[in-house]
Amino acid sequence: MRVVKGFIAIVALACSVATVSAQDVTPVPHKVENVTLKTLAGEPTTLPSFGEKNIFFFYIDPDIALGNNKNYKFSDEVEASGVLKGENIFCYGVLNLGDTGLPRKMVRNMSAKRTAKNNATVLDDSDHILSKAWGLGDCNGKCALVLVNKAGELVYFEKNDLDEAGRKNFYKVIEQYR
């Protein structure tokens, strides 16, 4: 009987933690402000094209590259599709280095080498500045998809793995902002 009661207590605790975790995200859409992050070289910078264009970025915990995160794999598909190209949208990546267990310097160096080849912009959020300021909640172990319109409203945010319907919805949403 003790084991059953203990198990029930653990399940109840897990459910309450999951509820708090789900509630730590500010509902979309909501207004956000530009924030100062760092370049891969460690220089302070604000988000490129914020308020000038619609911006889309992947907010990535580098640890997921080692696992089986569906959104991380989906990010390759999205980049290859060309859907993120358009005169009204600017796209880049933000590394959630505050949650990684990997050596930060190594991650920055590897990212810098990759961006030198593909001319991409990648920023560093080592201190959870973006996730805190924008109410993104716990993004540990996640590859979040983030879309902010020109007016500075967070209009799309998904950090959980997208299923087929979610992927189709993403393409539908992003098309409106290209």
pLDDT tens digit string along 10-47? 333 333 333 334 457 899 999 999 999 999 999 999 99
CA dist 95 and 122 (Å) reads 7
**5 within a domain of the structure (yes/no):** no
Beta-ladder partners of 153: 31
Six token digits for residue 90: 């600017």
Q: Are 156 and 147 in contact (CB under 8 A)?
A: yes
Q: Residue 42 sits in a domain of what CATH number?
A: 3.40.30.10
Q: How many CB atoms lie within 10 A of CB 100?
A: 20
Looking only at the bridges linking them, the beta strands covering 54-60 and 89-95 are: parallel
Tally of domains within the chain: 1
Q: What would the pLDDT profile of 104-153 be if each residue is shown by its tens digit?
A: 999 999 999 888 877 889 999 999 999 999 999 999 999 999 999 999 99
What is the value of pTM for the model shown?
A: 0.83
Q: What would the pLDDT profile of 55-98 be if each residue is shown by its tens digit?
A: 999 999 999 887 777 888 888 888 888 899 999 999 999 999 99
**19 within a domain of the structure (yes/no):** no
CA dist 103 and 9 (Å) reads 37
**93 within a domain of the structure (yes/no):** yes
**4 within a domain of the structure (yes/no):** no
Contacts of 88 (CB under 8 A, 6+ apart): 53, 54, 150, 177, 178
Domain that holds residue 50: 27-175
CA dist 25 and 27 (Å) reads 6
